[in-house]
Amino acid sequence: MAQQKIAELAGQVDNYVAEISKLKEENQQLTTDKNNLTAEKNQLTTDKNTLTTEKKNLEDKVDVASTLSASHISIIAIKMRGDKEKETDVAKRADHFRISFVIDENRVALSGKKTMYLVVTSPDGKVSAPNGNFKTRDGGDVQYTEAIEVNYEQGKVSPFDFNWKPTSEVVPGDYKFDIYNNGFKIGEAKKTIKKGGLFS
């Protein structure tokens, strides 16, 4: 009777050992599968981050390429006589300035309203009549004189002009006009205003 009991227990032990061995193998396989899944997940995360970075770099390149370019910049000072305008270079005669320029063809920039910032530097080296600040692409803050909205048509060469009236008396010397778009300076021009004679 005891012999039979021992034999049964021995058989059960063998079954347990076999079961434990099988469970260990399954556990090892699960661990391997888990490690493989973790590696795949990490690779997918890396690929996603790479794609996100590449997308951001591409968007940045497109954004920079969409920056408008100004050429043929012309500045004249104008004296008003009633409704008539007369060009002048004399300080005490100048009522306002007319800034004319051409926006060059750009096949990346979409059609629509574009904001351009005009920075007028007076002969004393200060920004004339500052109206606010904007950020340049290098992270700097620049005071601007006027924010100008222009309607741009993609791929077209577009002439623009607008008037700027100083808030203080026009003085003799060099007035500098800088035009910015999309955080970049896209054009500049200078206008020299004379003192004029006694009978100017």
What digits encode the pLDDT tens for the residues 175-186? 999 999 999 999
Q: Which residues contact 181 (CB under 8 A, 6 or more apart)?
A: 67, 68, 70, 114, 115, 116, 117
Distance CA 76, CA 179 (A): 16
What is the reported pTM? Answer: 0.75
CA angle 163, 100, 104 (to 5 degrees): 135
The pLDDT score that the predictor gives to residue 38 is: 87
User: Shortest CA distance to 77 belongs to which of 198, 197, 196, 199?
Assistant: 196
The pLDDT score that the predictor gives to residue 128 is: 94
Residues of the chain below pLDDT 50: none
The pLDDT score that the predictor gives to residue 74 is: 96
Residue 98 buriedness (CB in 10 A; 0-12 / 13-18 / 19+): middle
Structure tokens at 175: 């007035």
Note the maximum CA span of the chain: 141
| H helix or E strand, kind and range, residue 159 | strand 158-164
The pLDDT score that the predictor gives to residue 18 is: 80
The pLDDT score that the predictor gives to residue 20 is: 84
- Which strands, in side-by-side order, build the sheet including 84-88? 84-88, 70-81, 96-103, 158-164
The pLDDT score that the predictor gives to residue 198 is: 53
The pLDDT score that the predictor gives to residue 191 is: 96
The pLDDT score that the predictor gives to residue 23 is: 83
What digits encode the pLDDT tens for the residues 71-102? 999 999 999 888 899 999 999 999 999 999 99
The pLDDT score that the predictor gives to residue 148 is: 92
